[in-house]
Chain A
């Protein structure tokens, strides 16, 4: 029987990992991820979870180690955050190129300097091109659910791509909230066994020895990379399948890579990701009560990037009103340009512009907020919608300034 618990995001992740029965866990402590590995080590010591728990000497070793275990054909888990993710960066590319079906939790945290342990999304955004599927959870419940789904996605033989499950540091990792913990039997029925079948790609075989993680020259290398890209793009379908199947069995969650909220008739649309979506929902309900047509698109997966879903949700035939302005709220900045999510969204919108020219596109504003754990208040979100309303009514004379650092007057 599933049970209702009161858990933090980190604890919910640990429960999701326990239910997924990895055979090897290796992790190095870093705030705000530590509670995940503390809970897992307790579970292993109490034999609630039959896994090898390996105390490693660094994040680099943590990810390299679970790659070695995955090469042996077993399910693994590791978790990190911020500087730790940066220290792993080499191994992220390595493991995705090797097509190892790993699952890692990342507690989204700022990057030094200045040194700062609080939550923002600079870490995972900086590694968007590392070949990992990236998913962002909004709640502790979704965190637990996404860990289980991540294994189903990563190990799908069509995908064979590692999955990074992101939780906002502290705001999600350290906040306690209601979480339904599913029962083991249901999860066992949902996931394949934690030992991969013989002959699973990218694994050793004593009867037919294999060379793994090999080198390849220019021609062959490009071929492998093409295949990796193609499979990542195609992973959207398995992701939807897994999400849909999960929703059917567990009664919650979504098959969508982008989750809309009151968006179908919205004129002002905020696009965001992670736990801040909850506060945005509250603000939208309040503004709607005042008669404003506002809505939300929560990006769940940044990789594979759901370009077509985004264009359909913003401009598709089922919309009941045209979108007049778009905001992108994110907790990172690609220095010298814009927020990383805005770059992704705008790239997708350009394809739309090409298709729909000369109608053009609505104005887009990029709100950079929450850096280094800065609180994002309801008032600030309301002000962002005000900005969007002004942008929508703009007559074209005012020069567009698309990036705004929320709460920093100097940038105004």
Chain B
């Protein structure tokens, strides 16, 4: 695991079951991975040899911040503006340009919906229950 790269390689957090709390095991694993590349010291105490970690080392998702979820409708023309404007980098373009929202990183700010020139993104209230995706 190193830095994130697009929608697919986006950290263990994406691969974890949604709703699983950030576990100690995951943190310990991450720490060990980060330590192992630094030469010449013990990592048995769990802290790296300096206050540092691999870039893009992600352990917790931001999904809990969200009360709204951007639903991309059939009106989408794949213009890519939502990908551009997302402050969280949570919208990826698939091969054909279709935008896909990463549930772990979307905070539900709504910028994409406001900026979509076709009005093709609808912000759905998530508070009454998670929308299955």
Q: How far is the CB of A305 from chain B (nearest CB, A)?
A: 23
Chain B residues near A157: list those with CB within 8 A: 39-41, 49
Name 17 A/B residue pairs within 8 A (Cβ), A-sorted. Answer: A98-B50, A160-B49, A199-B37, A199-B38, A201-B48, A201-B52, A208-B37, A208-B54, A209-B2, A209-B3, A210-B53, A211-B57, A213-B52, A214-B52, A223-B46, A224-B51, A227-B45
Does A201 contact B49, Cβ atoms closer than 8 Å? yes
Does A98 contact B51, Cβ atoms closer than 8 Å? yes
Does A211 contact B49, Cβ atoms closer than 8 Å? no
In the assembly, what is the distance between CA of A223 and CA of B47, in Å? 7
Partner of A201, one of B2, B38, B45, B54: B38
Residues of B within 8 A of A (CB): 2-3, 37-41, 45-57
In the assembly, what is the distance between CA of A89 and CA of B112, in Å? 45
A350 CB–B CB distance under 8 Å: no
In the assembly, what is the distance between CA of A99 and CA of B41, in Å? 14
Does B3 contact A158, Cβ atoms closer than 8 Å? no
10 closest A-B pairs by CB:
A202-B50, A209-B55, A157-B40, A201-B49, A99-B50, A201-B50, A201-B38, A212-B52, A223-B47, A199-B39
Does A200 contact B39, Cβ atoms closer than 8 Å? yes
Does A214 contact B3, Cβ atoms closer than 8 Å? no
In the assembly, what is the distance between CA of A376 and CA of B51, in Å? 44
Q: How far is the CB of A397 from chain B (nearest CB, A)?
A: 53
Does B50 contact A211, Cβ atoms closer than 8 Å? no
In the assembly, what is the distance between CA of A279 and CA of B2, in Å? 59
What is the chain B residue whose CB lies nearest that of A209? Answer: B55
In the assembly, what is the distance between CA of A157 and CA of B45, in Å? 16
Q: How far is the CB of B37 from chain A (nearest CB, A)?
A: 6
In the assembly, what is the distance between CA of A224 and CA of B31, in Å? 13
In the assembly, what is the distance between CA of A158 and CA of B41, in Å? 7
What is the chain B residue whose CB lies nearest that of A101? Answer: B50
Does B47 contact A227, Cβ atoms closer than 8 Å? yes
A216 CB–B CB distance under 8 Å: yes
A97 CB–B CB distance under 8 Å: yes
Does A97 contact B54, Cβ atoms closer than 8 Å? no
Residues of A359-406 contacting chain B, CB below 8 A:
none
Residues of A168-223 contacting chain B, CB below 8 A:
197, 199-202, 208-214, 216, 220, 223
Chain A residues near B50: list those with CB within 8 A: 98-99, 160, 201-202, 212
Residues of A209-247 contacting chain B, CB below 8 A:
209-214, 216, 220, 223-224, 227
Q: How far is the CB of B27 from chain A (nearest CB, A)?
A: 9
- Write the A299-329 contact mask toward B (1 if CB under 8 angstroms, else 0): 0000000000000000000000000000000
Does A224 contact B39, Cβ atoms closer than 8 Å? no
What is the chain B residue whose CB lies nearest that of A221? Answer: B51
Does B54 contact A211, Cβ atoms closer than 8 Å? yes
In the assembly, what is the distance between CA of A216 and CA of B48, in Å? 12
In the assembly, what is the distance between CA of A202 and CA of B39, in Å? 11
In the assembly, what is the distance between CA of A223 and CA of B27, in Å? 14
Chain B residues near A201: list those with CB within 8 A: 38-41, 48-50, 52
Q: A200-B39, A201-B48, A211-B57 are in contact. List 4 more A-B contacts (CB 8 A).
A: A157-B40, A201-B39, A201-B41, A208-B54
Does B39 contact A211, Cβ atoms closer than 8 Å? no
Q: How far is the CB of A162 from chain B (nearest CB, A)?
A: 12
Chain B residues near A211: list those with CB within 8 A: 52-55, 57
> With A99-B49, A223-B46 given, is the CB distance from A209 to B54 under 8 Å?
yes
In the assembly, what is the distance between CA of A157 and CA of B38, in Å? 10
In the assembly, what is the distance between CA of A184 and CA of B116, in Å? 66
Q: How far is the CB of B46 from chain A (nearest CB, A)?
A: 7
In the assembly, what is the distance between CA of A202 and CA of B57, in Å? 16
Does B2 contact A214, Cβ atoms closer than 8 Å? no
Q: How far is the CB of B40 from chain A (nearest CB, A)?
A: 4
What is the chain A residue whose CB lies nearest that of B37? Answer: A199
Does B54 contact A214, Cβ atoms closer than 8 Å? no
Q: How far is the CB of A158 from chain B (nearest CB, A)?
A: 7
In the assembly, what is the distance between CA of A216 and CA of B47, in Å? 11
Chain A residues near B39: list those with CB within 8 A: 157, 197, 199-201
Chain B residues near A227: list those with CB within 8 A: 45, 47
In the assembly, what is the distance between CA of A209 and CA of B38, in Å? 13
What is the chain B residue whose CB lies nearest that of A100? Answer: B50
What is the chain A residue whose CB lies nearest that of B36? Answer: A199
What is the chain B residue whose CB lies nearest that of A205? Answer: B37
Q: How far is the CB of A336 from chain B (nearest CB, A)?
A: 34
Chain A residues near B56: list those with CB within 8 A: 209
Q: How far is the CB of B4 from chain A (nearest CB, A)?
A: 11
In the assembly, what is the distance between CA of A224 and CA of B3, in Å? 23
Chain A residues near B55: list those with CB within 8 A: 209-211
In the assembly, what is the distance between CA of A220 and CA of B48, in Å? 11
